[in-house]
Chain A
């Protein structure tokens, strides 16, 4: 409105903002995942590097092309799909055929994110949906592990990496069983120190608990991650497995092994904490974390598969809106609801 030479802008208060932005939060999550990704490449070599690149590229390209197709502005610049791609790649066996990597990325982003309405509306973690699709479609490839720290990991690629689509992948002689499958099928325990430092076999980014925790601490300190979720998950798994280990030490592994093996750390710190697919209240987040912890323990101890983190988180994602429906903040000056 122009008044005697002055053009005044009017809008509704507040007239200042904190400067927080979705893309900044997302970029920081990517940043927190970089050390984990670097360690994945360091321990599994070229195969892990290619897996991560193809995973990120397939996810980002899918979102970009779908936005184009829907004639909406591309949303890849908010960085959320980069997180999805990176996380997805980190959950895969390093020698997975690249065409399968691309398939899962496309499915995860298209089905679990774009069809639901994009960022903010995805009921499930898209990275895990992509992985769940691969687990169902290619169960053998998804459980064929390569050994970490192979001498030729920076010079040679596993034969399986460049498998022609729809052909059965060929694996080199040496297989690298994961700590969880070693325990489940051979009753063999891995040392907790090796698990913490990532000296074991497994999915590309799940092995080094220390680096995953460091990334989580960074995000929690910057308030970009609700620490109650990983804490509730880890405490529940530790508590339950401690009880069962005390009851029958021969049948059930100790709490330390349960905590630091498999995808639990990566899942608890980076997957379960997806803001969109987790509850909004702190109390709800604790309930959600406990639910994941119980499901992980149950699947690992009594399920047919050695690992259960992925399904536990996906199930809890489905429960999340219902947890929000039951647990709302107690409004100031009212007595009802959660404290």
Chain B
């Protein structure tokens, strides 16, 4: 009974949305079948799109390199299934825009077997070799950001890293992929950590998990290898605990400077699923051709955590998972930061951590009241911004003042302010628009 009273470490401020993880947290990861056609976009990450190295009509094996990174901030793509390249053309993305993609038609009865590449040996590889191997494996942040992992791991020469943080917080409601990966792929995670420790030169690693995953914490602790400087720390259940800056603050009490990077406080943090992929792929010289995704929400009958090949059309995935006919809203990611999808005819990409589908009729938009200065948003903002003031300035169109005087650009759009606002003001939505306006203006001048 005292466990409820125990205080776990946390960042300051934040919110407590309903967790909604009970439906899928205990469901083991299931392998997904191949769709009739797979669509692999050449740009699934932040940075330059990859360059296709296959041509129409070519036969490829599952796991084979089909696109190479174009420059440093870019990663490779691999065939999710053995089959024939149908064509290389435009396919719709999550934002509704068309972008180049490789269309791949699987051979009938394709096996799940993956071709082996040149292994990256942990003992003999240099940090540079490992970075290159991560880029060649096409690894990006699997928490949702899809930022190329090797870029994130490239620590500036003048910075020293003492701590590697493995982020297993997964604070978004509904999502349970990291939860399952941490229960089922512990060996992969520890192997991944070994690569990451070598790359970053960090002295120790901390795996951070939220207190709603105590089963994970005890399982990981029981399995910790004795020859590694690694610990498992439990942090309080609070949103957005999984945000990089917040987790670093919770675990180490360090504040990443405004506009800075974790390496400024001697930290590198990597998502736990990304770590597991590094540990799973590098020893075999393979690339990412599938990922774990939670498909959940009231409109899904076969909710679960699925290992889904990259490039699987979303419609195929949702129909396989038993999507209700009257589905009305589908979010890519969780309900706090996830994107509402305009169409189901998009492929699943590396950055996709979950799909949540709802079938309820549209609830009438709540009345927007004027800001009453209740300060709920000020008490919620994890970065100690003043969303109330920013909201008033946004309304007045004073985006420059928002950026210059009230740190608009620090906002990482967690949505806590909009969540708590009793006046139902779309705060983060306005900040998102203001941020892009400021960035465009600054880029233009």
Contact = CB atoms under 8 A, between A and B. Distances in A.
B33 interface: no
12 contacts: A6-B344, A12-B340, A15-B336, A17-B418, A17-B419, A20-B422, A21-B366, A22-B372, A22-B423, A275-B372, A328-B406, A329-B385
Contacts of B424: 17, 21
Q: Which of A6, A121, A330 has the most CB of B within 10 A?
A: A6
Contact of A18 (B15, B258, B342, B369): B15
B384 interface: yes
B354 to A, nearest CB: 13
A18 B336 CA distance: 11
B315 to A, nearest CB: 8
B343 A1 contact: yes
Interface string A69-109: 00000000010100000000000000000000000000000
Interface in A1-51: 1, 3-18, 20-25
Interface of B: 15, 17-18, 173, 245, 249, 255-260, 325, 327-331, 335-345, 362, 366, 369-376, 378, 381-386, 388-389, 406-407, 410, 413, 415, 418-424, 426, 428-429, 432
A16 B369 contact: no
Q: Which 10 A-B pairs have the closest CB atoms?
A: A120-B370, A14-B415, A20-B422, A333-B258, A332-B383, A10-B340, A22-B369, A12-B429, A329-B384, A15-B335
Interface residues of A, number: 47
A119 to B, nearest CB: 6
B418 A14 contact: yes
Given A9-B328, A120-B372, A333-B256, 20 more contacts: A6-B328, A7-B328, A9-B340, A10-B340, A10-B341, A11-B340, A12-B426, A13-B339, A14-B415, A15-B338, A16-B336, A17-B418, A18-B17, A23-B369, A117-B370, A224-B374, A275-B375, A280-B375, A280-B378, A324-B389
Given A14-B335, A14-B336, A8 B255 contact: no
Contacts of B344: 3-4, 6, 8
Contact of B337 (A14, A25, A226): A14
Contact of A333 (B17, B255, B422): B255
A17 B385 CA distance: 19
Nearest to A80: B372
Contact of A276 (B15, B330, B373, B381): B373
Contacts of B415: 13-14
Given A3-B344, A6-B344, A25-B374, A331 B331 contact: no
A13 B340 contact: yes
A9 B362 contact: yes
A13 B15 CA distance: 15
A315 B373 CA distance: 19
A155 interface: no
Nearest to A334: B258
A119 B337 CA distance: 30
A48 to B, nearest CB: 29
Q: Which of B362, B382, B415, B426 has the most CB of A within 10 A?
A: B415
B410 A18 contact: no
A304 to B, nearest CB: 34
Contact of B17 (A4, A9, A16, A118): A16
A25 B371 CA distance: 13
A324 B375 CA distance: 12
B173 A20 contact: no
A331 B369 contact: no
Given A120-B373, A276-B372, A333-B245, A8 B422 contact: no
Interface in A315-339: 324, 328-334
Contacts of A275: 372-375
A12 B432 contact: yes
B173 A16 contact: yes
A161 interface: no
A281 B377 CA distance: 11
Contacts of B256: 333
A278 interface: yes
A8 B328 contact: yes
A117 B396 CA distance: 15
B376 A20 contact: yes
Contacts of B388: 280
A78 B345 CA distance: 43
A275 B331 CA distance: 35
Given A8-B341, A16-B335, A331 B383 contact: yes
A151 B388 CA distance: 52
Nearest to B326: A6
A280 to B, nearest CB: 5
Contacts of A8: 327-330, 340-344
A11 B366 CA distance: 14
A280 B373 contact: yes
Contacts of A7: 328
B144 to A, nearest CB: 12
Contact of B382 (A12, A20, A21, A332): A332
Specify which of A4, A10, A278 lies most central, judged by the most chain B CB atoms within 10 Å of its CB: A10
Contacts of B378: 280-281, 329
A3 B345 contact: yes
B335 A13 contact: yes
Contacts of B419: 14, 16-18
Contacts of A24: 422
B407 A334 contact: yes
A258 B181 CA distance: 64
B341 A120 contact: no
A25 B369 CA distance: 12
A111 to B, nearest CB: 18
Contact of B384 (A11, A23, A331): A331
A78 B369 CA distance: 9
Contacts of A13: 331, 335-340, 413, 415, 428
Given A16-B336, A278-B373, A329 B386 contact: yes
Given A22-B422, A333-B257, A15 B373 contact: no
Contacts of A334: 257-258, 407
B299 to A, nearest CB: 10
A281 B388 CA distance: 11
A17 B413 CA distance: 15
A280 B371 CA distance: 11
Nearest to B264: A333
B439 to A, nearest CB: 17
A332 B330 CA distance: 33
A1 B385 CA distance: 35
Interface in A287-339: 324, 328-334
A284 B113 CA distance: 64
A125 to B, nearest CB: 13
A21 B422 contact: yes
Interface string A254-283: 000000000000000000000110101110
A21 B374 CA distance: 11
